[in-house]
Amino acid sequence: MRVLGIETSCDETGVAVYDTTLGLLADALHSQVAMHQEYGGVVPELASRDHVRRVVPLTERVLREAGLGLADLHGIAYTQGPGLAGALLVGASVATSLAYALGIPAVGVHHLEGHLLSPLLGQPRPAFPFVALLVSGGHSQLFDVGGVGRYRLLGDTLDDAAGEAFDKTSKLLGLPYPGGPALAHLAERGTPGAVKLPRPMLASGDLDFSFSGLKTAVLTLARREAGAATPDSLPEARKADIALEFQNAIVDVLVAKAFAALDETGRQRLVVAGGVGANRELRARLLRIAASRGCEVFFPDVSLCTDNGAMIALVGALRLADAKASDYAFAVRPRWELTTVSAATVDSENPARGA
Protein backbone atom coordinates (compact mmCIF):
# COMPACT_ATOMS: atom_id res chain seq x y z
CA MET A 1 0.00 0.00 0.00
CA ARG A 2 1.38 3.41 -0.98
CA VAL A 3 0.36 6.64 0.74
CA LEU A 4 1.14 10.24 -0.18
CA GLY A 5 1.69 12.46 2.88
CA ILE A 6 1.29 16.24 2.84
CA GLU A 7 2.47 18.45 5.73
CA THR A 8 1.60 22.18 5.75
CA SER A 9 0.96 22.98 9.43
CA CYS A 10 3.53 25.73 9.83
CA ASP A 11 6.53 26.98 7.84
CA GLU A 12 7.57 23.86 5.93
CA THR A 13 5.84 22.25 2.98
CA GLY A 14 6.63 18.53 3.20
CA VAL A 15 5.46 15.86 0.76
CA ALA A 16 6.45 12.18 0.78
CA VAL A 17 5.42 8.74 -0.45
CA TYR A 18 5.47 5.86 2.05
CA ASP A 19 5.07 2.22 1.04
CA THR A 20 3.99 -0.21 3.78
CA THR A 21 6.30 -2.92 2.40
CA LEU A 22 9.25 -0.91 1.05
CA GLY A 23 9.26 2.03 3.49
CA LEU A 24 9.88 5.63 2.50
CA LEU A 25 10.07 5.93 -1.31
CA ALA A 26 10.54 9.69 -1.68
CA ASP A 27 10.52 12.72 0.59
CA ALA A 28 10.71 16.39 -0.39
CA LEU A 29 10.67 19.52 1.71
CA HIS A 30 10.52 23.23 1.11
CA SER A 31 11.48 25.30 4.12
CA GLN A 32 10.17 28.86 4.40
CA VAL A 33 12.87 29.85 6.90
CA ALA A 34 14.51 32.38 4.56
CA MET A 35 11.16 34.04 3.85
CA HIS A 36 10.20 34.45 7.53
CA GLN A 37 13.72 35.30 8.73
CA GLU A 38 13.40 39.05 8.15
CA TYR A 39 10.33 39.12 10.43
CA GLY A 40 12.02 37.11 13.22
CA GLY A 41 9.26 34.47 13.21
CA VAL A 42 6.53 32.86 11.12
CA VAL A 43 4.03 35.21 9.39
CA PRO A 44 0.90 33.03 8.98
CA GLU A 45 -0.49 34.66 5.82
CA LEU A 46 2.87 34.43 4.03
CA ALA A 47 3.14 30.80 5.15
CA SER A 48 -0.25 29.87 3.63
CA ARG A 49 0.52 31.56 0.31
CA ASP A 50 3.85 29.83 0.04
CA HIS A 51 2.29 26.40 0.74
CA VAL A 52 -0.09 27.10 -2.17
CA ARG A 53 2.89 27.71 -4.45
CA ARG A 54 4.91 24.67 -3.31
CA VAL A 55 2.57 21.79 -2.67
CA VAL A 56 1.76 20.70 -6.23
CA PRO A 57 5.36 20.93 -7.59
CA LEU A 58 6.60 18.98 -4.54
CA THR A 59 3.93 16.31 -5.12
CA GLU A 60 5.01 15.98 -8.75
CA ARG A 61 8.62 15.75 -7.62
CA VAL A 62 8.14 12.94 -5.08
CA LEU A 63 6.06 10.91 -7.53
CA ARG A 64 8.79 11.34 -10.16
CA GLU A 65 11.52 10.36 -7.69
CA ALA A 66 9.54 7.32 -6.56
CA GLY A 67 8.91 6.33 -10.18
CA LEU A 68 5.15 6.39 -9.58
CA GLY A 69 2.07 7.93 -11.12
CA LEU A 70 -1.02 9.21 -9.30
CA ALA A 71 -2.79 5.95 -10.12
CA ASP A 72 -0.25 4.04 -7.98
CA LEU A 73 -1.43 5.74 -4.76
CA HIS A 74 -3.84 4.02 -2.36
CA GLY A 75 -4.49 6.95 -0.04
CA ILE A 76 -3.53 10.53 0.72
CA ALA A 77 -2.73 11.73 4.23
CA TYR A 78 -2.57 15.37 5.29
CA THR A 79 -1.87 17.21 8.53
CA GLN A 80 -5.29 18.11 9.92
CA GLY A 81 -3.93 19.90 13.00
CA PRO A 82 -2.70 21.33 15.24
CA GLY A 83 -1.11 24.28 13.46
CA LEU A 84 -1.87 27.53 11.61
CA ALA A 85 -5.44 27.39 10.28
CA GLY A 86 -4.70 28.91 6.87
CA ALA A 87 -1.60 26.78 6.35
CA LEU A 88 -3.46 23.59 7.36
CA LEU A 89 -6.26 24.40 4.91
CA VAL A 90 -3.84 24.35 1.98
CA GLY A 91 -2.70 20.78 2.63
CA ALA A 92 -6.19 19.60 3.58
CA SER A 93 -7.85 20.99 0.45
CA VAL A 94 -5.16 19.77 -1.95
CA ALA A 95 -5.06 16.30 -0.38
CA THR A 96 -8.83 15.91 -0.25
CA SER A 97 -9.50 17.14 -3.78
CA LEU A 98 -6.73 14.95 -5.21
CA ALA A 99 -8.08 11.93 -3.31
CA TYR A 100 -11.58 12.71 -4.62
CA ALA A 101 -10.31 12.92 -8.19
CA LEU A 102 -8.51 9.58 -7.77
CA GLY A 103 -11.34 7.88 -5.85
CA ILE A 104 -9.05 6.92 -2.95
CA PRO A 105 -9.35 7.73 0.79
CA ALA A 106 -8.08 10.99 2.30
CA VAL A 107 -6.89 10.69 5.91
CA GLY A 108 -6.47 13.66 8.29
CA VAL A 109 -3.45 13.13 10.56
CA HIS A 110 -2.50 14.67 13.92
CA HIS A 111 0.82 16.49 13.44
CA LEU A 112 2.19 15.38 16.82
CA GLU A 113 1.27 11.76 16.16
CA GLY A 114 3.44 12.15 13.07
CA HIS A 115 6.37 13.35 15.17
CA LEU A 116 5.77 10.75 17.86
CA LEU A 117 5.74 7.80 15.44
CA SER A 118 8.48 9.14 13.13
CA PRO A 119 11.14 6.85 14.71
CA LEU A 120 9.18 3.97 13.09
CA LEU A 121 10.59 5.23 9.76
CA GLY A 122 14.11 4.28 10.89
CA GLN A 123 15.97 1.09 11.72
CA PRO A 124 15.91 -0.49 14.22
CA ARG A 125 12.25 0.28 14.70
CA PRO A 126 11.03 0.66 18.29
CA ALA A 127 8.43 -1.88 19.40
CA PHE A 128 5.41 -0.82 21.48
CA PRO A 129 5.06 -0.02 24.34
CA PHE A 130 7.47 2.86 24.91
CA VAL A 131 7.80 6.25 26.56
CA ALA A 132 7.91 9.17 24.13
CA LEU A 133 9.57 12.51 24.77
CA LEU A 134 8.00 14.94 22.34
CA VAL A 135 9.97 18.17 22.15
CA SER A 136 8.98 20.56 19.39
CA GLY A 137 8.44 24.29 18.91
CA GLY A 138 5.04 24.15 20.57
CA HIS A 139 5.23 21.08 22.84
CA SER A 140 7.32 19.50 25.60
CA GLN A 141 5.44 16.39 26.59
CA LEU A 142 6.03 12.88 27.87
CA PHE A 143 3.65 10.11 26.80
CA ASP A 144 3.24 6.48 27.68
CA VAL A 145 2.60 4.93 24.26
CA GLY A 146 0.77 1.60 24.21
CA GLY A 147 0.20 1.47 20.44
CA VAL A 148 -0.95 3.61 17.52
CA GLY A 149 -3.47 6.09 18.98
CA ARG A 150 -2.95 4.88 22.57
CA TYR A 151 -1.25 7.84 24.20
CA ARG A 152 -1.35 8.59 27.93
CA LEU A 153 0.00 12.01 28.85
CA LEU A 154 2.57 11.72 31.67
CA GLY A 155 3.92 15.26 31.75
CA ASP A 156 3.48 18.57 29.95
CA THR A 157 4.93 22.04 29.91
CA LEU A 158 3.31 24.57 32.21
CA ASP A 159 4.37 27.47 29.96
CA ASP A 160 6.95 27.66 27.14
CA ALA A 161 7.88 24.53 25.22
CA ALA A 162 11.56 23.56 24.93
CA GLY A 163 11.79 24.68 21.27
CA GLU A 164 9.98 27.90 22.08
CA ALA A 165 12.49 28.59 24.88
CA PHE A 166 15.36 27.98 22.43
CA ASP A 167 13.72 30.33 19.90
CA LYS A 168 12.97 33.15 22.37
CA THR A 169 16.38 32.98 24.08
CA SER A 170 18.10 32.95 20.74
CA LYS A 171 16.13 36.01 19.63
CA LEU A 172 17.03 38.02 22.72
CA LEU A 173 20.71 37.24 22.08
CA GLY A 174 20.29 38.57 18.54
CA LEU A 175 20.68 35.20 16.78
CA PRO A 176 18.79 34.41 13.57
CA TYR A 177 15.46 32.52 13.39
CA PRO A 178 14.94 29.57 13.88
CA GLY A 179 16.66 29.84 17.21
CA GLY A 180 17.23 26.21 18.18
CA PRO A 181 19.91 25.31 15.63
CA ALA A 182 21.53 28.78 15.87
CA LEU A 183 21.79 28.62 19.67
CA ALA A 184 23.04 25.02 19.63
CA HIS A 185 25.69 25.99 17.09
CA LEU A 186 26.88 28.94 19.20
CA ALA A 187 26.93 26.74 22.34
CA GLU A 188 29.75 24.69 20.80
CA ARG A 189 32.09 27.63 21.44
CA GLY A 190 31.00 28.29 25.04
CA THR A 191 33.14 27.68 28.14
CA PRO A 192 31.54 25.19 30.54
CA GLY A 193 30.68 26.70 33.92
CA ALA A 194 31.32 30.31 32.83
CA VAL A 195 27.74 31.28 33.76
CA LYS A 196 25.10 29.61 35.91
CA LEU A 197 21.41 29.26 35.07
CA PRO A 198 18.61 27.45 36.96
CA ARG A 199 17.27 23.95 36.11
CA PRO A 200 13.51 24.66 36.33
CA MET A 201 11.30 21.93 37.86
CA LEU A 202 14.21 19.48 38.13
CA ALA A 203 13.17 18.49 41.63
CA SER A 204 9.41 19.05 41.23
CA GLY A 205 8.70 15.36 41.80
CA ASP A 206 6.42 15.18 38.75
CA LEU A 207 6.99 14.90 35.00
CA ASP A 208 6.00 18.45 34.06
CA PHE A 209 8.25 21.11 32.56
CA SER A 210 8.50 24.89 32.76
CA PHE A 211 10.96 26.82 30.62
CA SER A 212 9.77 30.43 30.65
CA GLY A 213 11.72 31.19 33.85
CA LEU A 214 14.91 30.02 32.17
CA LYS A 215 14.40 32.48 29.33
CA THR A 216 13.78 35.25 31.90
CA ALA A 217 16.95 34.24 33.77
CA VAL A 218 18.92 34.64 30.52
CA LEU A 219 17.32 38.05 29.94
CA THR A 220 18.16 39.23 33.47
CA LEU A 221 21.75 38.00 33.20
CA ALA A 222 22.30 39.44 29.73
CA ARG A 223 20.77 42.82 30.70
CA ARG A 224 22.97 43.03 33.78
CA GLU A 225 26.10 42.30 31.74
CA ALA A 226 25.15 44.56 28.84
CA GLY A 227 24.55 47.56 31.12
CA ALA A 228 23.17 50.45 29.12
CA ALA A 229 23.36 48.45 25.86
CA THR A 230 20.87 45.79 24.69
CA PRO A 231 21.54 42.06 25.41
CA ASP A 232 22.18 41.32 21.73
CA SER A 233 25.25 43.57 21.85
CA LEU A 234 27.14 41.28 24.25
CA PRO A 235 30.47 39.94 22.91
CA GLU A 236 30.12 36.77 20.84
CA ALA A 237 32.21 34.74 23.32
CA ARG A 238 29.93 35.70 26.21
CA LYS A 239 26.84 34.84 24.18
CA ALA A 240 28.42 31.44 23.54
CA ASP A 241 28.89 30.90 27.30
CA ILE A 242 25.23 31.74 27.89
CA ALA A 243 24.09 29.55 24.98
CA LEU A 244 26.05 26.57 26.35
CA GLU A 245 24.67 26.92 29.86
CA PHE A 246 21.14 27.45 28.52
CA GLN A 247 21.36 24.30 26.40
CA ASN A 248 22.80 22.33 29.33
CA ALA A 249 19.95 23.49 31.58
CA ILE A 250 17.29 22.37 29.08
CA VAL A 251 19.04 19.07 28.40
CA ASP A 252 19.50 18.36 32.14
CA VAL A 253 15.77 18.77 32.75
CA LEU A 254 14.60 16.85 29.65
CA VAL A 255 16.95 13.94 30.36
CA ALA A 256 16.06 13.70 34.06
CA LYS A 257 12.31 13.73 33.37
CA ALA A 258 12.55 11.27 30.47
CA PHE A 259 14.31 8.68 32.64
CA ALA A 260 11.95 9.39 35.54
CA ALA A 261 9.09 8.60 33.13
CA LEU A 262 10.75 5.27 32.25
CA ASP A 263 11.05 4.49 35.98
CA GLU A 264 7.44 5.46 36.65
CA THR A 265 6.00 3.35 33.82
CA GLY A 266 8.48 0.46 34.01
CA ARG A 267 9.15 0.80 30.25
CA GLN A 268 12.53 -0.06 28.75
CA ARG A 269 12.32 1.97 25.55
CA LEU A 270 12.43 5.73 25.06
CA VAL A 271 11.49 7.42 21.81
CA VAL A 272 12.50 11.04 21.22
CA ALA A 273 10.77 13.12 18.56
CA GLY A 274 10.14 16.72 17.46
CA GLY A 275 12.47 19.51 16.36
CA VAL A 276 14.48 19.70 19.61
CA GLY A 277 15.18 15.97 19.16
CA ALA A 278 17.70 17.12 16.53
CA ASN A 279 19.81 18.67 19.30
CA ARG A 280 23.15 16.88 19.39
CA GLU A 281 23.82 17.37 23.09
CA LEU A 282 20.38 15.97 23.98
CA ARG A 283 20.91 12.94 21.75
CA ALA A 284 24.41 12.25 23.09
CA ARG A 285 23.35 12.56 26.73
CA LEU A 286 20.29 10.32 26.34
CA LEU A 287 22.32 7.64 24.55
CA ARG A 288 25.02 7.72 27.23
CA ILE A 289 22.63 7.39 30.15
CA ALA A 290 20.46 4.80 28.39
CA ALA A 291 23.54 2.64 27.79
CA SER A 292 24.49 2.82 31.47
CA ARG A 293 20.93 1.89 32.50
CA GLY A 294 20.47 -0.91 29.99
CA CYS A 295 17.53 0.66 28.17
CA GLU A 296 17.11 1.72 24.55
CA VAL A 297 16.65 5.15 22.97
CA PHE A 298 15.26 5.68 19.47
CA PHE A 299 15.42 8.90 17.46
CA PRO A 300 14.21 9.72 13.98
CA ASP A 301 16.92 10.57 11.51
CA VAL A 302 17.97 14.20 12.20
CA SER A 303 16.36 15.31 8.91
CA LEU A 304 13.03 13.83 10.08
CA CYS A 305 13.05 15.48 13.54
CA THR A 306 11.63 18.74 12.22
CA ASP A 307 8.45 18.95 10.15
CA ASN A 308 8.23 16.67 7.11
CA GLY A 309 5.76 14.83 4.89
CA ALA A 310 7.25 11.39 5.62
CA MET A 311 5.84 11.20 9.15
CA ILE A 312 2.39 12.21 7.86
CA ALA A 313 2.49 9.57 5.12
CA LEU A 314 3.53 6.96 7.72
CA VAL A 315 0.66 7.75 10.09
CA GLY A 316 -1.70 7.89 7.10
CA ALA A 317 -0.63 4.36 6.18
CA LEU A 318 -1.11 3.15 9.77
CA ARG A 319 -4.59 4.66 9.88
CA LEU A 320 -5.76 3.90 6.36
CA ALA A 321 -7.20 0.57 7.47
CA ASP A 322 -9.57 2.52 9.74
CA ALA A 323 -10.43 5.24 7.22
CA LYS A 324 -14.17 5.37 6.69
CA ALA A 325 -15.60 5.69 3.19
CA SER A 326 -15.00 9.38 2.68
CA ASP A 327 -17.45 12.01 1.48
CA TYR A 328 -14.36 14.18 0.92
CA ALA A 329 -15.59 16.89 3.27
CA PHE A 330 -12.79 18.24 5.45
CA ALA A 331 -12.18 20.51 8.41
CA VAL A 332 -8.87 21.47 9.94
CA ARG A 333 -8.19 21.43 13.68
CA PRO A 334 -5.75 24.23 14.60
CA ARG A 335 -6.05 23.19 18.27
CA TRP A 336 -6.17 19.46 18.90
CA GLU A 337 -4.98 17.41 21.90
CA LEU A 338 -3.05 14.29 20.93
CA THR A 339 -4.66 12.23 23.71
CA THR A 340 -8.04 12.62 21.97
CA VAL A 341 -7.09 10.76 18.77
CA SER A 342 -8.69 7.34 18.35
CA ALA A 343 -6.84 4.05 18.84
CA ALA A 344 -5.99 2.40 15.52
CA THR A 345 -6.64 -1.24 14.73
CA VAL A 346 -3.19 -1.89 13.22
CA ASP A 347 -1.05 -4.87 14.10
CA SER A 348 1.04 -3.59 17.02
CA GLU A 349 3.79 -6.18 16.41
CA ASN A 350 4.29 -4.96 12.91
CA PRO A 351 2.69 -1.51 12.89
CA ALA A 352 4.00 -0.19 9.60
CA ARG A 353 2.44 -3.06 7.70
CA GLY A 354 -1.03 -2.53 9.06
CA ALA A 355 -3.50 -5.17 10.22
* List of residues contacting Zn ion (CB under 5 A): 136, 307
Question: Under the criterion CB under 6 A, does residue 91 sit at the interface with ligand KG4?
Answer: no
Q: Residue 180's binding partner, choosing from ligand KG4, Zn ion, none, with beta-carbon cut-off 5 to 8 A by kind?
A: ligand KG4
SS3 sequence, 6-47? EECCCCEEEEEEEECCCEEEEEEEEECHHHHHCCCCCCHHHH
CA-nearest of 229, 134, 123 to 174 is 229
Q: Residue 167's binding partner, choosing from ligand KG4, Zn ion, none, with beta-carbon cut-off 5 to 8 A by kind?
A: ligand KG4
Backbone angles phi, psi at 26, to 5 degrees: -160, 150
Q: Residue 278's binding partner, choosing from ligand KG4, Zn ion, none, with beta-carbon cut-off 5 to 8 A by kind?
A: ligand KG4
> What secondary structure does DSSP assign to 80-107, as a single string?
EESS-HHHHHHHHHHHHHHHHHHT--EE
Q: Residue 129's binding partner, choosing from Zn ion, ligand KG4, none, with beta-carbon cut-off 5 to 8 A by kind?
A: none
Span 105-144, contacts to ligand KG4 by CB under 6 A? 115, 136-138
Nearest distance, CB of residue 136 and Zn ion, angstroms: 5
Backbone angles phi, psi at 242, to 5 degrees: -65, -45
Contacts of 299 (CB under 8 A, 6+ apart): 119, 122, 271, 272, 273, 277, 283, 305
From 180, 190, 316, 351, residue interacting with ligand KG4 (rule: CB under 6 A): 180
Which CB sits closer to Zn ion, 136 or 157? 136
Q: Residue 184's binding partner, choosing from Zn ion, ligand KG4, none, with beta-carbon cut-off 5 to 8 A by kind?
A: ligand KG4
Nearest distance, CB of residue 107 and ligand KG4, angstroms: 19
Span 231-290, contacts to ligand KG4 by CB under 6 A? 274-276, 278-279
